[in-house]
Structure 1
Amino acid sequence: MRVAILTDEVGWHTRQLQQALRARGAVGRCVDLADCDIDTTASAHGLVIPGYGRGLPDAAIVRGVAGGSFEQVTKRLGVLHALQALGVPVYNEARAIERSVDKSMTSLLLHAAGVPTPPTWATESAARARRTAVREGAAGHALVMKPLFGSQGKGLQQVGAVDGTPHGEHRLLPDLADFGRLAYLQRFVPSADPGPGFDWRVLVIGGRAVAAMRRVSEHWIHNVAQGARTEAAELTPDLARLAEAASAALQMDYAGIDLIPSPGRGLGGGAVQVLEVNGVAAWRGLQRVTPFNIARALVDDLIDRKLAAAVPRRAARRA
């Protein structure tokens, strides 16, 4: 069995996946989507996947899609769409990645599915964004402005009532030119308890929550890439239920779900809300605090569920 690991960065995660694939009798080859071409003269299917000649892999695991121009990213996602259309199981599928990488679509789908998530606004109008920040600030709420396609906590800014009072410090909206001329705003969730704040990362594989950790930081941004430390966390039924509902709302094969407690009643002293859904989730920090073999679980789900379901469909296409 030949599995393409689609990634722009070879390292710890890809080695983990290759080891888990070998344990199942499969071979994982790292392929950069930027190196994949469409060539309708090269083969009947019209794709060129490095290392696979005129053929195609039996399955593909998406580990990373490099940024680039709109045209470059469109082509790379097009390759994922084409692989799926040709009967190659893609884990996660292109549509799922598109839903999760666009934070506004994530928020919209979570809201539509009834999954608790902070109030969110996305607008191309600077005037409407400023009015939202003023209105929320008058109610004592800060907002977090995020790059629509950002990751790892990069580029986040607080605006509005950053000290949590209507008449205190009010931080103005930054220039939208620095955010792709679009304002994606999410109501800031203050820490439920005194001391360092935290959120949870819950990993969902094949629709089932399998592991959790807390990301703890003195800063209001809790990403490990921004200096947060990881701690083992109990995967409670409530956390699992919310994470699984968030993954289902975006139709993910696997996902890293970020959840946060807020003041009130519930887990950790507050009601729990889903902040983000990560469709190409890293798991190195989570693996440090859990004995659960994450790469093996991902590969098992790909082979036993995704690939097994695709075999009859591929046979029908060939017929």
Structure 2
Amino acid sequence: MHIGVIYSRLRVEEKWIFNALKDRKISYERLLDSEAIFELTNPNFDWSRFDCILVRSISTSRGLVLTRILNSFGIPTINSHTVSEICSDKIATTIALKNKNIPQPKSLVAFTEKQAISAGEMIGYPYVVKPTIGSWGRLVNKVNDRDAAEAIFEHRKVLGNYQHHIYYLQELIEKPGRDIRAFVIGKKTPVAIYRESEHWLTNTALGAIATPCKVTPDLHEACQRAAEAVGGGVLAVDLLEDPNRGLLINEINHTMEFHSTAPLTGIDIPNLIIDHILQELK
């Protein structure tokens, strides 16, 4: 068995994964995505020597291209291109969850400033506007009134990327000063954390504090249903606690970070990922 790990930068998560592979005497190879060259019409590199490749690229677009190419070569990846493509796009994730009747915040999409304002008023102020692709809480805005909506949508119209011209709006959930990030690895939900903040955005990249969260049967079931809806694998599921509707799935991340969660909880996430890879290869 020979496993590849393709990555952008040697972060602490990658160090832990490499150490776990080494400790378990599993044959593996480090692959920097910045150094990769793919000849699409006639593969010029012996990819067949890999039984599986774990994709740890930081860039969403780069990771999607990598999984598309590797899967086309017949090389399994964690996660697959199909799963990665769904999770990387909030609209695709919303549709996948809706198709399985999984509770989530109300979400609308519009394509012009005028219709985006109308969509927001259908939800009611305040509401949230997000880019369809992105992470770490970047360009996520709370819209408190029409003046704010007009300003935000005008800015997005001027921004050059076509993705900013797709307006994804979501109801604002009155969460209790926190959200939940749970980690799904195959059929297991081994660990979860609360992300607590006085700010309405509860993302650790923006300063939220992580504390342990017990994985209850309800939380496990919600996470497993969400993961299955997008195709399963190694995923981070973000949930919101609604006072009336209970747990709502907010987003699903296909290249999860766990540098805070592993030391906080003592759960050996790198070895659980390796266990999952080995199980998938049986």
TM-score by length of 2: 0.89
Residue 172 of structure 2: aligned partner: 188
Compared CA separation, residues 234 and 252, structure 1 to 2 (3 A)? same
Compared CA separation, residues 78 and 152, structure 1 to 2 (3 A)? closer
Matching of residue 143 in structure 1 with residue 127 in structure 2: yes
Q: Which runs of 5+ in 1 are unaligned?
A: 162-168, 265-269, 309-319
Q: Which runs of 5+ in 2 are unaligned?
A: none
For the aligned residue pairs, the C-alpha RMSD in angstroms reads 2.2
Residue 24 of structure 2: aligned partner: 24
Residue 271 of structure 1: aligned partner: 246
Q: What SS is found at the alignment partner of 1:284?
A: coil
CA contact (8 A) 1:18 1:27 kept: no
Residue 172 of structure 1: aligned partner: 149
Counterparts of residues 214-253 of structure 1 (less than 5 Å): 214-253=194-233
CA contact (8 A) 2:130 2:169 kept: yes
Return the letter of the residue paired with 1:9. R
Compared CA separation, residues 77 and 134, structure 1 to 2 (3 A)? closer
Q: What SS is found at the alignment partner of 2:255?
A: coil
How much does 1:277 deviate? 0.4
Compared CA separation, residues 120 and 206, structure 1 to 2 (3 A)? same
Return the letter of the residue paired with 1:301. H
Matching of residue 114 in structure 1 with residue 91 in structure 2: no
Compared CA separation, residues 47 and 285, structure 1 to 2 (3 A)? farther
Residue 275 of structure 2: aligned partner: 300
Aligned equivalents of 1:25, 1:247: Cα separation in 2:
30
Return the letter of the residue paired with 2:200. W
Q: What SS is found at the alignment partner of 1:121?
A: strand
Q: Give the alignment partner of residue 46 of structure 1, picking from 43, 46, 50.
A: 43
CA contact (8 A) 1:133 1:160 kept: no
How much does 1:148 deviate? 1.4
Return the letter of the residue paired with 1:288. P
Compared CA separation, residues 89 and 160, structure 1 to 2 (3 A)? same
Residue 263 of structure 2: aligned partner: 288
Q: What SS is found at the alignment partner of 2:139?
A: coil
How much does 1:7 deviate? 1.4
Residue 2 of structure 1: aligned partner: 2
Q: What SS is found at the alignment partner of 2:87?
A: helix
CA contact (8 A) 1:2 1:58 kept: yes
Which is higher, the Rg of structure 1 or of structure 2?
1
Q: What SS is found at the alignment partner of 2:260?
A: helix
Aligned equivalents of 1:118, 1:214: Cα separation in 2:
19
Matching of residue 159 in structure 1 with residue 150 in structure 2: no
Q: What SS is found at the alignment partner of 1:258?
A: strand
Figure out how many residues of one structure are paired with residues of the other and give that number.
275
Return the letter of the residue paired with 2:128. V
CA deviation vs aligned residue, 1:49-108 (integer Å, no higher than 9, x gap):
xxxx6754221001125256xxxx4xx634423423443221101111110010111111
CA deviation vs aligned residue, 1:139-159 (integer Å, no higher than 9, x gap):
xx4211112111011111011
TM-score by length of 1: 0.80
CA deviation vs aligned residue, 1:206-253 (integer Å, no higher than 9, x gap):
132111111100101111110001101110111111011110000021
**Larger CA deviation: 53-62 vs 277-286:** 53-62
Percent identity of paired positions between Structure 1 and Structure 2: 23
How much does 1:189 deviate? 0.5
Residue 189 of structure 2: aligned partner: 209
Q: What SS is found at the alignment partner of 2:25?
A: coil
